[in-house]
Structure 1
């Protein structure tokens, strides 16, 4: 009897630097390694056919017109849509759908009405079509329950949190240094440079110190960059605040390794990947207490109780003084909980639950 055919949506590979791609690629590799029950197909952009290997996986090529005419899915028993904003969810009632929801940030960020309406419509469509919902943090799971009516979520649809994995940082070549390498102590923050990340509250942390601040991201909103620069000017530290975009993976690792502390004062996060990466190296991480961050950082992180300069300065000073080798080991242990092997095993169990095989 032929094995059931299932599809993993790997369309995010169109941008290998995107956050969704960093979720899909390691998950796909682990599913390929562990799977023996199914014929696994990966749905990929044309340039990525074969990009996940040839052994244990087949490919379905993504085409732009599939947004309007669904890809042929009637021969597949299950489709795993890897983002709540995916265009590519089959309409055939004979294909089971697992939907991974990374965040509902648009509900909290208050984007313009057009963006809000578009994202809400997409998320509602995908949630209503799903036979099984999976979230990457328990915060997002609870967020779905809090907004169930708005999102069209039915309690009859299984809803589960599966902790995502985080890959180990690749070692650096000997003597490597980024284009900009501070000579003294510096604080580091990584992520899209937009208002939900709340970076503009950080410059006052440099007052009364010789620290620098590096904020790096793959995307920057021009208006918000000016907000950060204005905050730095007001704090009198403009010459020590550096905003970088499109840094390499090697640059990122160097900044993690050499920073005095990693900072993430976000107002909204579906997960918080850089937090785990910094903790892999035992670094002190300083986080907001909002959305998913306390769940990711656990007891190993330090938390800003509010964003007033005095409170943040005291939290940073106290946390740095407390960060002993034992606290460093605690951070590494917290990071080790985020395993791709376990995430893939959990997803395979969900596939089995849905398909009854």
Structure 2
């Protein structure tokens, strides 16, 4: 089956959203981006897409859905910094949970049949086992993870009550940049490890903080499953096709490669790619950080037509570094 209408991408001027826009356009979909540019950049929106500067909770989103004949929503807009969610939880429940409730209400009112949600491995909290499967207990240890889990519950209940199916994609650690150099992580003050490391490699930082060296991991530092942002974007396109082809089904799927790297292993990879030695600044643990998050990705590999193409840590670093250098040129 085909989608007879446009895909609305919220947060499409941001990091992951802009890559999803590229993947959708490259696959032949028509796209309208909704973004209020609080953290996004209008120049990050591909010129093939329509763009509307509006917040997702604005009632005017209904007019956008109607005017652009939106038949699917990919929802990326929201706040994503775990330590900030601990210090300012109400911001996260407003931006991630309450705003998304308004967006879902607009989608239901306008009869949008398909909804794809940007969720997170933070919904699992401190996992009982690794790798983590979708059916494992959800016990978030920070407001960021809880705000996302609450949205998953909303979508479950809405899909039971209305003619809408959904797919919640639980991201593990997203990194890298478009291999063609069309987009990348551009947010000032980003907290992604690889982003911070390549900033250090290009002289924007004087080192990289290592938060926690006493975790029960192979070298004492936190272990994460890093997924290339372009692979993740292509997973969204495949998930959309699944929702269109099987309108009565909804899904929750982990997005990761099924293997993890420690903070020190990632920094070693950056050293190898750059032929530099990034200074490591050893510090205490941050609140809300579990020791290890690695995906059991067997479900997504079985459920959607998606095969990772960029499962290489040094390749992820190279793409991130190339974007960082391009961004430095852009900024002057």
Which category describes the TM-score, using the shorter chain as reference length?
0.3 to 0.5
Q: TM-score, normalised by structure 2?
A: 0.42
Look at both structures and tell me which one has the larger radius of gyration over its CA atoms.
1
Q: TM-score, normalised by structure 1?
A: 0.39
